[in-house]
Chains A and B, each alone.
Chain A
Amino acid sequence: MAAILDLSSWICLVAGSFFALVSSLAVLRLPDYYSRIHGAGITDTMGAGLILLGLALQAGISLVTAKLALVLIFLVLTGPTASHALAKAAYRLGLDPVLNSEKDKASSSR
């Protein structure tokens, strides 16, 4: 039983780390602001979720797990809200997305 818990916690940690890396790589490499927001969002959901879950599996049922759950709830509440506000603020101020073709540009006129 303990071995299964340990193994699943490790899988969660490795997967979470992978998603955290991918998310940062996306923020670094993607071409425009809006796609970068999308990349950053991965950390808030998959990255943080899996890493915190992995840690919780290590801690077992204890106060630590309760705190981890609280941190996760907090991130789940604030992360998407912040992403939403980030995207909305930039759009309102007139930052245009980088679009592929002329046709896209025409259809996105505000």
Chain B
Amino acid sequence: MMFAAAMAAILTSMAMLLVRAVQGPTVFDRILSVNAFGTKTVLLIAVLGFLTGRPAFLDLALVYALMNFISTIAVLKFTRVGSLAGGQQLPADAQALQGSEAPPETQVAES
């Protein structure tokens, strides 16, 4: 019963994070929501194991925690320097801040 309540709470909070991820407005809000969503997923897996009576599959929760961390770091590295491993600051980075409502950019041309 308590597991079901915890599950309901986790699902509700997932829904709220989903709204934040879709709304943005800045790209960082999306990254933050994805990261928080990953933590919620870890909790969901853990609770689900107990809910279904086979709690032995917690290895999965560990993988989620780990992958969530790595993708967050990768995303941050991407937004900060415009690449994943080394590279110079791109002028396009400023546009990352404006979110999806920004007017379409025109700097697709070769450089």
Contacts and interface: CB of A to CB of B under 8 A. Distances in A.
Contact of A51 (B19, B26, B46): B46
A82 B42 CA distance: 15
Counting chain B CB atoms within 10 Å of each CB, which of A9, A79, A82, A95 scores highest? Answer: A82
B72 interface: yes
Contacts, number: 144
A21 B31 contact: no
Interface of A: 9-10, 13-14, 16-18, 20-21, 23-25, 27-28, 33, 36-37, 40, 43-44, 47-48, 51-52, 54-55, 58-59, 63-64, 67-68, 70-71, 74-75, 78-79, 81-82, 85-86, 89-90, 92-95
Interface of B: 2-3, 5-6, 8-10, 12-14, 16-17, 19-20, 26, 28-29, 31-33, 35-36, 39-40, 42-43, 46-47, 50, 55-56, 58-59, 61-62, 65-66, 68-69, 72-73, 76, 79-80, 93-94, 96-97
Given A13-B5, A55-B47, 18 more contacts: A14-B5, A17-B9, A24-B12, A27-B33, A27-B36, A44-B39, A55-B46, A58-B50, A64-B55, A67-B62, A71-B42, A71-B61, A78-B66, A82-B35, A85-B72, A89-B76, A93-B93, A94-B97
